[in-house]
Amino acid sequence: MTLLTDEELCRVPKPGADITAMGHYPEERGPKSEYLDSGDSAVFGAVEPPRRSRRQLVLHSAVMFGREFCYAVEGAFVTPVLLSVGLPRSLYSLVWLISPVLGFVLQPVIGSASDRCGSPWGRRRPYILSLGVMMLAGLALFLNGDYVVSAIVTERNSKKTWAIVVVMCGVVLFDFAADFIDGPVKAYLFDVCSHQDKERGLHYHALLTGLGGACGYLVGAMDWGHSALGVLLGSEYQVIFFFSALSLSLFLSLHLFSIPETPLGRGGATEPRPSDTLLLLGNQSSGYGALPREPVPEPELRTRSFSALGEANSVTSSAKQPNKEVQKRMTLKSLLLAMIHMPNHYRCLCICHLLGWTAFLCNMLFFTDFMGQIVYKGNPYADHNSTAYNTYERGVEVGCWGLCINAVSSALYSYVQRLLLPYIGLKGLYFVGYLVFGLGTSLIGLFPNIIATLTLCSVFGVMSSTLYTIPFNLISEYHKQEEAQRKMREEEGERGRGTGVDCAALTCMVQLAQIFVGAGLGALVNMVGSVIVVVLSASTVSLIGCLFIALFIRHVE
């Protein structure tokens, strides 16, 4: 007989212990090798969902195509539509202010409610469906508001006022829903996929996001007004709404039926897995990143194309945390307090990220209007059957081609970054992205002709790829360095700070930048009297960001 050692005895399960709790996720048929990975961890209580096929992950990612398609339409046409219905130039940037303000206030509420949803259909899909319907409603009001109001209201002044109100309500509703839907979508992926499939799923999300944005800009770039479809549906905006609504409805449906969810409380997970929960600080710490004694879930890092207006929405909703006591810990107040007390090099990175997004949004949100008014010299306030208005619309269409170039160049530059990284490092790539964007937008402002402007649209992609990747890579490197230093000091009992609050702080800078742009850019345009100040402001802020990177961003090896 062989006696067990004390260490081996500790690993023997107690009598009656349940080690076969395999009912957390629905059984799926498939090749045996595809599901083996989930079995080992399940025996010891850390149940992994079954492996998902490529088809399931692609269908799950389909909603990102539809969402980004509609986002591209909004980004390209929101300013021209608002100006065409008569919104004063001094107010047209304020429409971008409402959604991020709502995001700061409501994002913890929606994330927490999604985690506690007891619907038989699952926790995430009811919220995704509701937000998808809100997106369709907002899109309908945004693109068809003027047409509907003209058919109902006959008095000229009343018609103008109601058209402005309806279109603005549509923009705010769409922007709110489109920003918030990303959190439940990412949480849905994390709930139903194993660790390996999460990485694969996020890759497909990024791929279909880029394709959706490019297709949306291409549809906007077409002259639908004189086509057979335009004559049938009534106007160019109705054609664009038809394609946008069709795309969103189709791909949202594919997403909702891609992978089944287990309802909460019906064999579903009741505690977050260790891999899905990231500690911000050790239990004994009360400094930066510390929340009251409970670990806080890690936010999902998103790779998106131009329309990253709601980056902070996934901070609270992208992790599994059905424990109500834990959910209450992640609040706006705790996040803001943690941001105030963060280490200096993280604070500098957040400031630089804020400068970059401010510059980027200054240019991107008003680029098609710039093309219509400055490059093509059209007039959005002219009568809709006039030459000046038709010229402006042509400029908007060409501006959509420029934004499509931006989406393509962003994808291409992400591969160039890999080649440049060994030579100039992360800080060098960060500096280059801001510098190229600053110089490119300044040339567009100084020499606003069609060929030069479309050519220089490629620098927008350089900036967007930089903003979506480099700051988060720097966060990762900072934490790696700190972990190495902690091990060198042999502080094995000390828990290191996680990346949760750092990433949340970075993503909140996007909404803060949108608030700055919405509050100030319209007044600046009104004061100068020309939208050329849009690209010049973007260039100035970006070059200031270059200087800030050179002086204050910590270098990593």
Helical packing angle, 500-528 and 332-340, nearest 10°: 90
Give the three-state DSSP class for 538.
Answer: helix
Q: How confident is the model at residue 127 (pLDDT cuts 50, 70, 90)?
A: confident
Looking at beta carbons, which pairs linking 75-78 to residues 24 or more positions away fall under 8 Å?
Answer: 75/306, 75/307, 75/364, 75/365, 75/403, 76/216, 76/217, 76/220, 76/368, 76/396, 76/399, 76/400, 76/403, 77/143, 77/220, 77/237, 77/240, 77/368, 77/396, 78/142, 78/171, 78/365
Q: What is the mean pLDDT of the chain?
A: 75
Mean predicted confidence (pLDDT) in 485-489? 76
The confidence score (pLDDT) of residue 529 equals 81
Does residue 189 have a pLDDT over 60? yes
* Burial of residue 76, with CB atoms counted within 10 A of its CB: 0-12 exposed, 13-18 middle, 19 or more buried: buried
pLDDT, residue 388, reads 92
Which helix (H) or strand (E) element contains residue 278? strand 277-278
Element of type H or E holding 297: strand 296-297
- Could you tell me the two tokens for 163? 């058209």
d(CA 108, CA 515): 19
Nearest-5° angle of CA 522, CA 523, CA 529?
85
SS3 helix, strand, coil % of the chain, rounded to 5? 70, 0, 30
Q: How many CA within 13 A on the CB side of residue 267?
A: 12
Contact between 83 and 526 (Cβ < 8 Å)? no
Least confident of 236-240, 257-261, 505-509, 510-514: 505-509
- Token pair for 465: 């790829």
Q: Taking residues 484-502, what's their average pLDDT?
A: 62
Q: 80-122: per-residue pLDDT in tens? A: 888 888 887 767 667 777 777 776 666 656 656 666 777 777 7
**Mean pLDDT of all residues in 198-226:** 80
Q: 296: helix, coil or strand?
A: strand
- How many angstroms separate the CA atoms of 479 and 415, rounded? 24
- Answer for the pair 296, 340: CB distance below 8 angstroms, yes or no: no
Contact 500, 291 (CB under 8 A): no
Number of Cβ atoms within 10 Å of the Cβ of 491: 11
Confidence of residue 266 (pLDDT cuts 50, 70, 90): low
Amino acid of residue 43:
V
- Quick one: which of 170, 177, 173 has its CA closest to 237? 170
CA of 281: how far to CAs of 165, 305, 325, 414, 502, in Å? 47, 32, 18, 32, 12
Query: For residues 27 and 341, what is the distance between their CA atoms, to the nearest angstrom?
Result: 46
Beta bridge pairs of residue 522: none
For residues 501-531, b (16+ Cβ closer than 10 Å) or e, as one string? bbbbbbbbbbbbbbbbbbeebbebbeeeeeb
Strand (E) or helix (H) holding 247: helix 236-256
Q: What is the pLDDT of residues 7-54, one digit of tens each?
A: 444 444 444 444 433 334 344 444 443 443 444 343 334 466 788 888
What is the C-alpha to C-alpha distance for residues 427 and 345, in angstroms, rounded to an integer? 13
Q: Higher pLDDT residue, 536 or 188?
A: 536
Is the C-alpha dihedral spanning 482, 468, 536, 505 positive or negative? negative
pLDDT over 90 at 136, yes or no: yes
- Check residue 494 and report its DSSP letter: S
Residue 296 has pLDDT above 60, yes or no: no
Asked if the model's pLDDT at residue 126 lies above 90, the reply is: no
Q: Give the amino acid at 271.
A: E
Chain CA centroid to CA 108, Å: 16
Give Cα 99 distance to the centre of its chain.
Answer: 13
**346-405 tens-digit pLDDT:** 889 989 999 999 999 899 888 988 999 999 999 988 887 899 998 998 999 899 899 889
Rounded to 5°, the CA angle 333-300-541 comes to 70
Chain position carrying tokens 């319209």: 522
Residue 288, pLDDT above cutoff 60: no
pLDDT tens-digit readout, 427-469: 999 999 999 999 999 999 999 999 999 999 999 989 988 887 7
With residue 277 as reference, give the H or E element that holds it. strand 277-278
